[in-house]
Amino acid sequence: MSHTAPATPGFYGLMAEFDSAQTLLDAAHQVGKAGYTKADAFSPFPIHGLAEALGFKDRRISFIVLMGGIAGALFGYGLQYYTQVIAFPLNIGGRPFHSWVSFIPPTFETTILFASFTAGLTMIALNGLPRPYHPVFNVPRFSGASQDRFFLVIEATDPRFNLDQTRSFLSGLHAREVVVVDE
Amino acid sequence: MESSQYPQGDYRRAAPVIGPGHSSRSITDKLASVVLTTNTPIGWFVFMFFGFTLFLGLNVALTYLFAKGIGIWGNNVPVGWAFDIINFVWWIGIGHAGTLISAILLLFKQDWRTSINRFAEAMTLFAVACALIFPIVHTGRPWLAAYWLLPYPNAMTIWPNFRSPLIWDVFAVSTYGSVSLLFWFIGLIPDLATFRDKAENPIVKRIYGILALGWRGSAIHWARYEHAYLLLAGLSTPLVLSVHTVVSFDFAVSVLPGWHATIFPPYFVAGAIFAGFAMVITLAIPLRAMYGLQDFITMRHLENMAKVTLVTGLVVVYGYFCEAFFGWYSANEYERFMMWNRTWHGPYAWSYWTLLLCNFIVPQLFWFKKCRQSIPILFMVCMFVNVGMWLERFVIIVTSLHRDFLPSSWEMYYPTKWDFITLFGTIGLFMTLMFLFVRVLPLISVFEMRTLLPEANPKQPEGGSH
């Protein structure tokens, strides 16, 4: 059905398979240098510098988590202020309704609670998960990416993508094999 | 030095954190074979049978409690808090080692934490689950716990009193439970993807696939993952220290002799880590033998955990001496009487000396390398610590309450059979959850074990693009 949409070549991209973390990392640096912007690498464990080699610079999580923590602190303190001063003021041993010292431990806990869940859920959301289907799973050998194999994909929508040139470029990076990933 | 009793050779050298000759594939295959098999070890059934039987006892005890009320327990006036709060504090304390291993040791870059963090985190969750039973049922009317414990808009328009440490405790423990669950699940995602890819049975594959959220090991995902994981570790570190601090406030903020002491927060936190590490060793020894994990949980791990147990144990003993010192130095007759009653002429003095035997005398064996490297001695000492830490809470709670300021209100406390069935029932619940966990989820973090291999840390090329 490719005759209706020339922009989509009918496949997702090219996938190169590597034997080790070292060859994958070296290849990723070459891919980054060659100017490809829509490339991703896949490995069974985190490899330091790999995402950066492919041009990844996103550090938004820290800021979002800070906002989550501040929201948690405001929620915790606000809840206590509302319940103890406005909604249900109780005179207990003559203590002030606004006993801010007593409000510190719950405020601390809600800060941690909100910040932690922000960290976890932001990571999942920014990664676009849950995503049960993804074209890379169409490659039978890709199941090794969660065990002991290493992969690098250049997407067909990359402006520098050219099926033959990109294939020979990837093959030159000590790839074990290069295959087309179906859409 | 191959003849050494030490499995890795020369006992003076630090053992490796992973046995020799392992690759990504062998680690994955070994750890997946524990779960993705129809061949369950016979020991698993034995532990499960034992645990589940005790758990059934818990169900009976709680059902009877809800029908009759807390009159079935030994609690009385003045000992209004007894097994319910002892068990609560004991379980919460045990949980602390899991977070210490997964968060604090991660920040300190202790690579030996990698093979024990997963099941230690699971232990945290299950210990918190056992602990949470007690605040909910300790009135015998668990359906009322909702408005006692949680601030929610209700038809009576009443709210909990936030000036009380008991409500701080609700926030601390529920935050701790939720964050531990999140931390544990985030850690599991890449391993669930491994299991999805390795499972043969289509239904099993589907279940792991759903839980793995479609994880594909993308470099960009890993970068965000590690970033979030580090933040979670950084957030969990003050959290874990705050939880037992807040638990100790339940006591320290009151005016009862024996509870009203400033040493309580650090002393309770150290006690929690002490109890928790002892429990991790107690669990690690049978698990590594049952599943042949000696290459992953090496003597290095057991020895390091024994060292942590020894050090935190000494902090706890310092707490005991501080309590005695405060009793004397306060020059307060009630404080002095409390110490004298607790240690010498009171009816529960036996529990104090048993406590010192369990938590002070026996763990000193860990000064000796031979003892730290002997599995039977390790296991025995940790069982002493498990009992000792329970007794510590018994000593603090019961001996302080049973003889307070007014001799006319003194009363002895005797637990009933329902108290014991409930205590052992929660141990059964813990064992049931723990052994279900090792059967269906990776008990050692597979992807983190791979990062311990030398080939997992490739050199950055010269003139890299960043």
Hunting for tokens 């230690």 — which residue is that? Answer: B120
Rounded mean pLDDT of A103-120?
Answer: 94
Q: How far apart are CA B156 and CA B176, in angstroms?
A: 29
In this predicted structure, what is the pLDDT of residue B1? 34
Residues with pLDDT less than 50, chain B: 1-8, 464-466
Helix (H, G, I), strand (E, B) or coil at A43: coil
Q: How far apart are CA B366 and CA B317, in angstroms?
A: 15
Q: How many residues does chain B have?
A: 466
Closest Cα of chain B to A165: distance in Å?
A: 22
Task: Answer yes or no: do A145 and B194 touch at CB < 8 A.
Answer: no
Q: How many residues does chain A have?
A: 183
For residue A120, which residues of chain B lie inside 8 Å, CB to CB?
182-183, 185-186, 228, 232
Task: Report ipTM (2 d.p.).
Answer: 0.90
Task: Answer yes or no: do A132 and B214 touch at CB < 8 A.
Answer: yes
Hunting for tokens 């003849």 — which residue is that? Answer: B3
Rounded mean pLDDT of A75-101?
Answer: 91
Helix axes B165-198, B117-137, angle to 10 degrees: 140
Q: How far apart are CA B346 and CA B79, in angstroms?
A: 15
Closest Cα of chain A to B110: distance in Å?
A: 17
Output the CA–CA distances (angstroms, integers) from residue B16 to A85, B368, B369, in the order listed.
Answer: 58, 20, 16
Q: How far apart are CA B396 and CA B316, in angstroms?
A: 13
pLDDT band for position A143 (cuts 50, 70, 90): confident
**Element housing A103 (H / E):** none
**Residue A133: both structure tokens together:** 């289907």
Residue-wise pLDDT for B44-91, tens only, equals 999 999 999 999 999 999 999 999 999 999 988 889 888 999 999 999
**Residue A29: both structure tokens together:** 């640096």
For residue A125, which residues of chain B lie inside 8 Å, CB to CB?
none
Closest Cα of chain A to B164: distance in Å?
A: 8
- State phi, psi for A134 to the nearest 5 degrees: -150, 140
Give chain A's radius of gyration (CA, Å).
25
Interface test with B, best of A23, A62, A118, A147 (most B CBs within 10 A): A147
Pair A25, B460: CB distance under 8 Å: yes
In this predicted structure, what is the pLDDT of residue B362? 93
- State phi, psi for A153 to the nearest 5 degrees: -120, 135
Residues 17-36 of A with CB under 8 A from B: 20-22, 24-26, 28-29, 32-33
Pair B448, B113: CB distance under 8 Å: no
Residue A124 touches chain B, beta carbons under 8 Å: yes
pLDDT band for position A108 (cuts 50, 70, 90): very high
Q: Which residue has the higher pLDDT, A10 or B411?
A: B411
Reply yes or no on whether the pLDDT at A10 is more than 90. Answer: no
Helices (H) and strands (E) in chain B, counts: 18, 0
Closest Cα of chain B to A142: distance in Å?
A: 9
Helix (H, G, I), strand (E, B) or coil at A165: helix
In this predicted structure, what is the pLDDT of residue A159? 84
The gap from C-alpha B374 to its chain's centroid, in whole angstroms, comes to 23
Task: Answer yes or no: do A20 and B161 touch at CB < 8 A.
Answer: no
In this predicted structure, what is the pLDDT of residue A4? 45
In this predicted structure, what is the pLDDT of residue A7? 52
In this predicted structure, what is the pLDDT of residue B282? 92
Closest Cα of chain B to A58: distance in Å?
A: 8
Q: How far apart are CA B120 and CA B231, in angstroms?
A: 19
In this predicted structure, what is the pLDDT of residue B348? 92
Amino acid (1-letter code) at residue B155: A
SS3 content of chain B, % helix, strand, coil (to 5): 70, 0, 30
**Residue B11: both structure tokens together:** 């006992």
In this predicted structure, what is the pLDDT of residue B3? 38
Size of interface A-B (CB pairs under 8 A): 230
pLDDT band for position A9 (cuts 50, 70, 90): low
Q: How far apart are CA A41 and CA B217, in angstroms?
A: 8
Q: How far apart are CA B224 and CA A49, in angstroms?
A: 12
Q: pLDDT > 70: what percent of chain A?
A: 95
Searching chain B, which residue's CA lies closest to the CA of residue A20?
B455
Closest Cα of chain A to B456: distance in Å?
A: 6
Task: Answer yes or no: do A83 and B193 touch at CB < 8 A.
Answer: no
Task: Answer yes or no: do B23 and A84 touch at CB < 8 A.
Answer: no
Closest Cα of chain A to B270: distance in Å?
A: 19
Searching chain A, which residue's CA lies closest to the CA of residue B192?
A146
In this predicted structure, what is the pLDDT of residue A175? 82
Task: Answer yes or no: do B220 and A40 touch at CB < 8 A.
Answer: yes
Residue A71 touches chain B, beta carbons under 8 Å: no
In this predicted structure, what is the pLDDT of residue A6? 47
Reply yes or no on whether the pLDDT at A5 is more than 80. Answer: no
For residue A113, which residues of chain B lie inside 8 Å, CB to CB?
175, 178-179
Reply yes or no on whether the pLDDT at A162 is more than 90. Answer: no
Reply yes or no on whether the pLDDT at A3 is more than 90. Answer: no
Give the torsion through C-alpha atoms of A15, A16, A19, A20, to 10 deg: -90
Helix (H, G, I), strand (E, B) or coil at A70: helix
Q: What is the DSSP string of B193-213?
A: HHHHHH--SHHHHHHHHHHTT
For residue A136, which residues of chain B lie inside 8 Å, CB to CB?
216
Residue A136 touches chain B, beta carbons under 8 Å: yes
